[in-house]
Structure 1
Amino acid sequence: MGLYSEEGSLRPTPPFDFAKSLDFLGMFPPMREDQTVSELSMTKAVRVGGRAIVFQLKPTGTIKMPGLKYTLFADHPFSRGLTEVVIDRISFFLSLSDDLDQFYRIAINDSNFAPVLQKLYGLHQVKFFTPFECACWAVLSQRNQLSAARKAKQALLERFGTSLEVNGHVYRAFPEPGQLGKASQEDVKALLKHQRREEYLGEVIRAFSEVDERFLRTANYDKVEEWLMNIRGIGEWS
């Protein structure tokens, strides 16, 4: 099967150190196996319009004048709208638009925090790719061994995720609420093997199926927190 590709560039808000993002992904257990990472690049899948899009990122420029070159891969032609959605996802994932200047101005004068700032200079917060994936991890990791939670998340990804093969590697995008909502109770039970987590995951799926992600990104923090806390299985420690 032939693949379509598209290239372009992104301009993160400086300072931005892509190497710090890669370091984080390499040590953060819930996402360690979700992408391939080399010294100078990252390749990962995202689900858009029911299909998997694979993107590869490589750094250009410097920490104070940063840039990222992207290459997108798909099994169907790109449109302007499709590319914009993928770019928005990437920007959210790596917090490319975060302006840390004011934070740095305060932190540099804190004798306890200044060494941390210097060590992590240029790191922008790396998030779960979607709020839904984050909520699923919150349920899977509750009162659970980290290795078991990782195994359960990987099982959901492999069983229900949308995939695309690029350069001999199969990349899978974490399923959306609608995908998991169509899964049979027997399938989920076989993967999780824990009744309470099955129930909580079902509550998360239903809640996220009924909410617009723009609300989660842009609404008042307290309103979003209230909405989350009303989901059975999500609490203060989630």
Structure 2
Amino acid sequence: MRIWKENKHCILIKTPELFDFKTNLNYLRRDPNECMYEIEEDRITRVIEINHLRTLVRISEADSEYLAVEFLAGGKLESMEDKKAIVRYVEEWFDFETDLIPFYKMGSKDPLLEQAIERFYGLRIIGLHDLFEALCWGILGQQINLTFAYTLKRQFVEKFGETLEYEGKIYWIFPSFDKISGLSPEDMSDIKMTKKKREYIIGIAELMAKGDLTKEKLLYLDELKQAERELTQIRGIGPWTANYVLMRCLRYPDAFPIDDAGLINAIKLVTEMERKPTKEEIRELTSEWKNWESYATFYLWRMLY
């Protein structure tokens, strides 16, 4: 756990050296239809669920070395364990524990990455803490553009999620797998996703409600391919969705959605290639990325928006 301290009003968390808060905020602003947090005046406001608590927090840059986490509404953090859990949540969300020096050393000499690193220096892979949310987001985004995926997520969250209210505003909590596991596809029929996607999401919720699928079980596995196999055995989860979740939620550094349309378009953009590169060409172009595939992919995605 990183260095942190508290005062009367907030918790202060020391940031890593290679971290730029505004660069990460700009990533979080990428779609105005995002419903899980609000960004105003360079401050993020969102509900965080830890242990037995739901608390509304506001995260901002205290100075060049610390993020400030204010507590606005919801459950009060009284125990040291709860405060440490909030610190761990923020650290994981912004991936503070990864040392980016080796990535930047490799990427600054890589023709695909050098431009992205220069433009987005200090960017971290913004995580998805909750496994169910990560899997739902992966399924919602299958074979559609990002804008429509955000629309579907908002419809899903606003129909089945819960809320905290603060100063006349509503802040959303992602639907729980327990709640979704009790639904039928017809219960979700007014959300503009395919029936197959509705079935996939309910099926995943049922697995999680039974305890057959957990974040802890996946993190216990020894290697990426083993975790990928576990996920792709689940109906509705192919290699792309599995690697997306392995990257954003389970933090595998070598997760690599090689067939991702966004990755392919970013490679075309950077290389000024007019045709779609073959998988063999992608493997050759990315041969120096070993154990940095996730970060390299994330930075190239950022080139597109």
TM-score by length of 2: 0.67
The corresponding residue for 1:71 is 70
Name the SS of the counterpart of 1:226 in structure 2.
helix
Structure 1, unmatched stretches of 5+, are: none
Q: Distance in 2 between matches of 1:41 and 1:120?
A: 19
Name the SS of the counterpart of 2:58 in structure 1.
strand
Distance 1:21 1:217, change over 3 A: farther
Deviations 1:109-129 (A, max 9, x none): 335533321211111111234
Question: Conserved in 1, the CA contact under 8 Å of 2:47 and 2:171?
Answer: yes
Q: Distance in 2 between matches of 1:38 and 1:98?
A: 27
Q: Which moved more, 1:31-40 or 1:94-103?
A: 31-40
Deviations 1:22-42 (A, max 9, x none): 10011157x733211124211
Name the count of aligned residue pairs: 230
Question: Conserved in 1, the CA contact under 8 Å of 2:185 and 2:195?
Answer: no
The corresponding residue for 1:60 is 62
1:165-204 equivalent positions in 2, closer than 5 A: 165-183=165-183, 185-192=185-192, 194-204=194-204
> How many angstroms does 1:6 deviate by?
5.9
The corresponding residue for 2:230 is 227
> How many angstroms does 1:15 deviate by?
0.9
Distance 1:103 1:194, change over 3 A: closer
Q: 1:33 corresponds to which letter in structure 2?
A: C
Q: Distance in 1 between matches of 2:15 and 2:208?
A: 29
Name the SS of the counterpart of 2:190 in structure 1.
helix
Relative contact order higher in (CA < 8 Å, ≥ 6 apart):
1
> How many angstroms does 1:213 deviate by?
1.9
Distance 1:112 1:185, change over 3 A: closer
Question: Conserved in 1, the CA contact under 8 Å of 2:55 and 2:72?
Answer: yes
The corresponding residue for 1:117 is 117
Q: Distance in 1 between matches of 2:214 and 2:201?
A: 18
Distance 1:91 1:15, change over 3 A: same
The corresponding residue for 1:100 is 100
Q: Distance in 1 between matches of 2:59 and 2:219?
A: 23
Q: 2:239 corresponds to which letter in structure 1?
A: E
Distance 1:8 1:190, change over 3 A: same
Q: Distance in 1 between matches of 2:90 and 2:234?
A: 27
Q: Distance in 1 between matches of 2:90 and 2:155?
A: 24
Q: 1:22 aligns with which of 14, 21, 25?
A: 25
Q: 2:225 corresponds to which letter in structure 1?
A: D
Deviations 1:197-226 (A, max 9, x none): 111112221233323323334533222211
> How many angstroms does 1:99 deviate by?
1.1
Q: 1:182 corresponds to which letter in structure 2?
A: G
TM-score by length of 1: 0.83
Higher strand share: 1
Structure 2, unmatched stretches of 5+, are: 1-7, 242-305
Q: 1:194 corresponds to which letter in structure 2?
A: T
